[in-house]
């Protein structure tokens, strides 16, 4: 199960990287089928959100209720995000300043602390997702104050309340571009449609644990059908810029792309372990790539920017072949970053949390 999820995390991270590579002109002459796949790469974020919900449910399934468990969870999860992001932010800040690409109005405080703010002023265009991630962590941490049955009921009540608000805002035109200036934090953050994807992943894990004998093939078929519906809606029913990836179409995105992501993650959770030792080794090796998914996600905007600048300096234009090389280098840089910086910092953070909260933390 974990190996399949890890493989899916890596695929989602690379899909997002390919999406931004196409958006920034790296595949000008690619076949139409590739363009269509790359254009849907924003859905890699939806997959991440669902997987995050699964991992949170898995990690807290046996947690005893109480303030210590809630504190340990919150500190550990926040530490996981910050220890991965802060070094990348430092590298990005120095690099962008050196090449003269640091925006004058960048909000370094919100970029560092990842609190709700104007995401267009972030130093990186991908870290808005981490703000929602941290919000979900706080909700899960609060649920850990309760005993398991009440914990799940509280999470279900929260999900139901957000879903009701999303429907209300959707039907009253609160997601239309003209209403955005009047949008409150409740509309675009606390009850954001994409938050439902975290909850869907959370309850997906509980469902699979309760009914483990489902066939993964049916989930995969459902994922294909729902992905087709998401592509149809994105192509024909997303008039507001920038399409389904933008806030004005988040309700449709959560409904279709989010549902497809849930089905795909469900298939990964239920996928059988290969019987062949060779295939098991291959799955394990590919699963290890999932360890680099967070680094790939954080680093790819900077890597693509620097690679584009290098090509420009050489008088060359981005081409598919160059993009493949850059994406391979991205994986290599992410692996180096993970082993040399991200993982050691996170391990040190966990040791410090253990010292704060005691050996049982």
CA 176 from chain centre, in angstroms, equals 24
Residues of the chain short of pLDDT 70, as ranges, are 1, 317-318, 359-361
Which residue carries 């999303």 as its tokens? 166
| Angle, alpha carbons 53-55-59 (nearest 5°) | 120
Q: For helices 258-270 and 43-60, give the axis angle rounded to 10 degrees.
A: 50
DSSP reduced 3-state for 158: helix
On the CB side of 83, how many CA atoms lie within 13 Å of its CA?
20
pTM of the model: 0.96
DSSP secondary structure of 297-326: HHHHHHHHHHHHHHHHHTT----HHHHHHH
Residue with tokens 């160059």: 322
HSE toward the beta carbon, residue 48, CA cutoff 13 A: 25
What whole-number distance in Å separates Cα of residue 177 and Cα of residue 248? Answer: 6
Residues ≥6 apart with Cβ < 8 Å to 21 = 27, 38, 304, 323, 326, 327
Could you report the per-residue pLDDT of 143-190, keeping only the tens digit for each? 999 998 899 999 999 999 999 999 999 999 999 999 988 899 999 999
């Amino acid at each position: 199960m974990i190996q399949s999820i890890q493989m899916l995390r890596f695929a989602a991270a690379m899909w997002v990287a390919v999406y931004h590579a196409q958006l920034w002109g790296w595949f000008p002459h690619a076949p139409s089928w590739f363009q269509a796949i790359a254009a849907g790469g924003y859905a890699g974020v939806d997959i991440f959100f669902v997987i995050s919900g699964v991992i949170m449910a898995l990690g807290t399934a046996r947690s005893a209720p109480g303030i210590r468990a809630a504190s340990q969870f919150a500190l550990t999860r926040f530490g996981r995000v910050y220890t991965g992001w802060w070094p990348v932010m430092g590298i990005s800040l120095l690099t962008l300043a050196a090449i003269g690409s640091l925006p004058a109005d960048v909000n370094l405080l919100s970029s560092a602390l990842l609190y709700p703010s104007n995401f267009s002023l972030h130093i990186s265009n991908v870290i808005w997702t981490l703000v929602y991630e941290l919000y979900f962590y706080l909700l899960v941490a609060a649920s850990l104050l309760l005993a398991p049955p009440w914990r799940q009921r509280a999470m279900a009540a929260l999900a139901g309340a957000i879903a009701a608000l999303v429907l209300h805002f959707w039907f009253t035109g609160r997601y239309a571009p003209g209403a955005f200036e009047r949008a409150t934090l409740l509309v675009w953050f606390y009850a954001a449609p994409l938050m439902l994807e975290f909850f869907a992943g959370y309850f997906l894990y509980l469902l699979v644990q309760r009914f483990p004998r489902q066939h993964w093939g049916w989930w995969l078929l459902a994922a294909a059908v729902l992905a087709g519906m998401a592509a149809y809606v994105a192509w024909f029913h997303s008039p507001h810029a920038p399409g389904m990836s933008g806030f004005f179409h988040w309700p449709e995105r959560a409904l279709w792309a989010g549902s497809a992501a849930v089905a795909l993650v469900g298939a990964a959770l239920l996928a059988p372990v290969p019987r062949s030792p060779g295939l098991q080794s291959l799955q394990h090796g590919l699963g290890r790539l999932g360890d680099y998914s967070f680094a790939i996600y954080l680093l790819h905007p900077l890597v693509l920017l620097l690679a584009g600048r290098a090509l420009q300096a050489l008088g060359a234009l981005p081409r598919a072949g160059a993009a493949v090389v850059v994406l391979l280098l991205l994986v290599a840089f992410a692996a180096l970053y993970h082993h040399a910086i991200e993982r050691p910092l996170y391990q040190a953070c966990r040791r410090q949390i253990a010292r704060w909260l005691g050996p049982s933390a």
